[in-house]
Amino acid sequence: MREFIAQKLILAGVTVLFCVAPAVLVRAADPQNVVPTPNFFDQRQRMSKPDLSGRQRIRFLTTTDYPPFNFLDSRGQLAGFNVELARAICEELDILPRCQIEAMAFKDLVPALERGDGEAIIAGLAMTPQTRSQFAFSEPYFRYPARFVTRRDRMVKPPVAAGLKGKVVGVEKGSAHAAMLRAFFPDVKEQVFDMRNDGLAAMKGGKIDAFFGDGVSLSFWLESEAAAGCCSFSGGPFLSDRFLGEGLAIAVAPNDKALADAIDYAIGQLVEKKRFSDLLLRYFPVSAF
User: Please, where are the H alpha helices in the chain?
Assistant: 81-92, 106-115, 129-134, 160-163, 176-184, 196-204, 215-222, 241-244, 257-272, 275-283
**Percent of the chain clearing pLDDT 70 (strictly above):** 84
Please, what is the end-to-end C-alpha distance for the chain in angstroms? Answer: 12
Give residue 48's pLDDT band: very low, low, confident or very high (50, 70, 90): confident
* Cα–Cα distance, 125 to 118 (Å, whole number): 14
Domain with CATH 3.40.190.10 in the chain: 7-27+144-244, 49-142+247-283
49-142+247-283 is classed CATH 3.40.50.300:
no
* Cα–Cα distance, 125 to 106 (Å, whole number): 9
3-class SS string, 229-266: CCEEEEEEEEEEHHHHCCCECCEECCCCHHHHHHHHHH
Give residue 158's pLDDT band: very low, low, confident or very high (50, 70, 90): confident
Give residue 53's pLDDT band: very low, low, confident or very high (50, 70, 90): confident
β-bridge partners, 161: none
Residue type, 189: K
User: Please, where are the H alpha helices in 43-164?
Assistant: 81-92, 106-115, 129-134, 160-163
CA dihedral 172, 247, 243, 190 (to 10 degrees): -30
Mean pLDDT over 106-123 rounds to 96
7-27+144-244 is classed CATH 3.30.930.10:
no
* Cα–Cα distance, 205 to 151 (Å, whole number): 9
Q: What is the pLDDT of residue 285?
A: 79
From residue 196, alpha-carbon distances to 136, 155, 205 in Å are 35, 20, 14
For 55-76, write each residue's pLDDT tens digit: 999 999 999 999 999 999 999 9
Residue 27: enclosing H or E segment and its boundaries? Answer: strand 24-27
* Cα–Cα distance, 53 to 74 (Å, whole number): 36
**SS3 state of residue 185:** coil
For 7-25, write each residue's pLDDT tens digit: 232 222 222 343 343 343 3
Q: How many residues does the chain have?
A: 289
For 183-224, write each residue's pLDDT tens digit: 999 999 999 999 999 999 999 999 999 999 999 999 999 999
Global pTM reads 0.81
Give residue 5's pLDDT band: very low, low, confident or very high (50, 70, 90): very low
* Model confidence at 1: pLDDT above 60: no
* Model confidence at 33: pLDDT above 60: no
From residue 167, alpha-carbon distances to 1, 121, 195, 269 in Å are 21, 42, 20, 44
* Model confidence at 269: pLDDT above 70: yes
